[in-house]
Structure 1
Amino acid sequence: MERKHASDYDQELLDLYDGYAHGQVDRRGFLSGAAKFAVGGLTAVQLLDNLSPDYALAEQVAKGDERIKTEYLEYASPKGAGTMKAYLARVKETEGKLPGLLVVHENRGLNPYIEDVARRAGMAGFLALAPDALTPLGGYPGNDDDGRALQRKREREEMVEDFIAAAKFLQTHPECSGKVGVVGFCFGGWVSNALAER
């Protein structure tokens, strides 16, 4: 079956999904609201599945791509959660130090999409670091619903401190030029603005 595009769905359903994806509507609320769009044998659960991201389809740089070097590492966050985990990506063949890029995830933790964004940034010539704000709670749980629920348990200011510590870690990394930028998605956009203010 061919995957549908956003233009194939009613805007009201897309708005409802947007609220769900951003934690403003829970799963039950989404399914209840989506029921009126479930026609012709299509269920509300199938609509949710159709609208949810498929990380395998979105991947642009494979995890095992020979051109890139990746690793999971830990860094200190003394004003945040203590010790944080992150995903680091950079090209294998490079001369000199690389500019750093902090990649900040959405409101669900370091999922496969954000790891792919870090690999893409690495391929583009950055030393890309993607921290997982869910580290103190065990890390990204493997699905976005549980990730959103876990992230709601964290204190926002403590998470900001974790990302400040990540930027400092990246800035002083031996492979980094000392220049660091930030890119964020959803919650990560808020973090990017918070870092710019500091």
Structure 2
Amino acid sequence: MNDITSKFWYTSEDSKNMRLLVSTLSDHPSAWTVTKCENVQPFGIQKLTIYSNFFNEHTDYVNLETGEMYANYFDSEIAPTDPSTPTTPTSSITARISASTSTIKVGGSYKNLTVNLFNDSNEDITTEYADATFTWTCSIDNEDWTDKVTWRAGTEYNQKKVKFPNNTSVIGKILSVKCEIVKDNLPIESEILLLELTE
């Protein structure tokens, strides 16, 4: 992840997903659409899913002399005045969940989870989300377990306690925990916390 890749984005509306020009320099370079953008462990690595797309000579910008290539540069919604300064979306916010250990006991006691939010300079801005809505979910092998575990409120607004039922059939599997933070109708999805289920 760097200053450029941290600004990649995608939405549920295909027509509004970020497009990229990744190609050798030519009049009609290869265009791609971002359809998924995930932060993976260790932090600092970003996983993208992209699909090939058509180059659009009306909205995409290519300068063969300077080597600059920008997708959707002349988009009707964003009309830049100077082609030398490409527009970028608003700065991205990252949410990370932390726990004391990377395991959770089956049938054990409550485990404390804390989610913190960081701006693109990696500064902790969690206090700015004190009035946000925090929704916690979890899954095992892509199967939703949110209603099968027991949740309790944590000490702080950005904390949650989770207790796993006494189900020995899942020992050794991974519990994936996620938190969605919504403020001013803008959702932020946390990175996934992986907890190994132990006896």
TM-score (norm 2): 0.24
Q: Whose relative contact order is higher, 1 or 2, with alpha carbons under 8 Å and at least 6 apart?
A: 1
Structure with higher strand content: 2
Higher helix share: 1
Which entry has the higher C-alpha Rg, 1 or 2? 2
- Return the TM-score normalized by structure 1: 0.24
